Structure 1
Amino acid sequence: MNLLSLFGKRGASASVAKNRLQILLAHERADDGSDAALISGLREDILAVVAKRVDIDPDSVKLEMDRSGDVTTLGIDIELPAARAS
């Protein structure tokens, strides 16, 4: 009996984790000039995830990357629609 078979097959989370790691690796290898491509890809991924739960305007998703020394920060601003009255 295979020990891995006890835990079942790898699900979609493995694929998502792989994609996230690829994004992080691309970021680490990127020059300062390629931040635009990284931000564009992250914006599309985040938009797809949020749109699964909330109806949002694609133009309402703003991302900003700031590099300061060895630290990179990613700011995400998403304008959510107003709550509906019941």
Structure 2
Amino acid sequence: MALFDFLRPKKDTASIAKNRLRILIEQERSDSGGPDYLPVMRRELLEVIRRYVSVDLDAVKVDLLKDGDHDVLDISVSLPEKPGPAGAV
């Protein structure tokens, strides 16, 4: 049936789909360590910071840590050495 060989995919689509699913699951697991609002909070903080300083997507990290009986919100912002224009105030 060489006539219909062009209809068959040449790549192993099952393994490609499996790899993509594995990546999505790993991302979900890394985000699931905290409450649901942490990714939203991170995005909103990034939007506010970008009003004043041009920063990368990975510049803001928000984590929830345990300190005895208390939960501590740890916010880390990596600012550039020389702030660039960000259409600021």
Give the TM-score taking structure 2 as reference length: 0.49
User: RMSD between aligned alpha carbons?
Assistant: 2.1
**What runs of 5+ residues in structure 1 fail to find an aligned partner?**
1-32
**Which one-letter code corresponds to 1:63 in the other structure?**
V
Kindly indicate whether the alpha-carbon contact (under 8 Å) linking 2:55 and 2:79 is maintained by their aligned counterparts in 1. Answer: yes
Measured against aligned partners, the alpha-carbon deviations of 1:48-75 in whole angstroms (never above 9, x if no partner) come to: 1101110000112111101345421111
Aligned partner of residue 39 in structure 1, secondary structure = helix
**1:57 and 2:56 equivalent?**
yes
User: 2:86 corresponds to which residue?
Assistant: none
Residues 5-20 of structure 1: matches in 2 within 5 Å? none
Q: Which has the higher contact order (CA 8 A, sep 6+)?
A: 2
Q: Which amino acid aligns with 1:56?
A: V
C-alpha separation in 1, matches of 2:73 and 2:66: 9
Q: Which one has the largest radius of gyration?
A: 2
Distance 1:34 1:62 in 2: 13
Name structure 2 gaps, 5 residues minimum.
1-31, 84-89
Q: How many residues align?
A: 52
Q: TM-score normalised to the size of structure 1?
A: 0.50
CA distance in 1, matches of 2:74, 2:67: 14
Deviations 1:3-40 (A, max 9, x none): xxxxxxxxxxxxxxxxxxxxxxxxxxxxxx68242210
Counterparts of 1:48 and 1:54 in 2: how far apart (Å)? 10
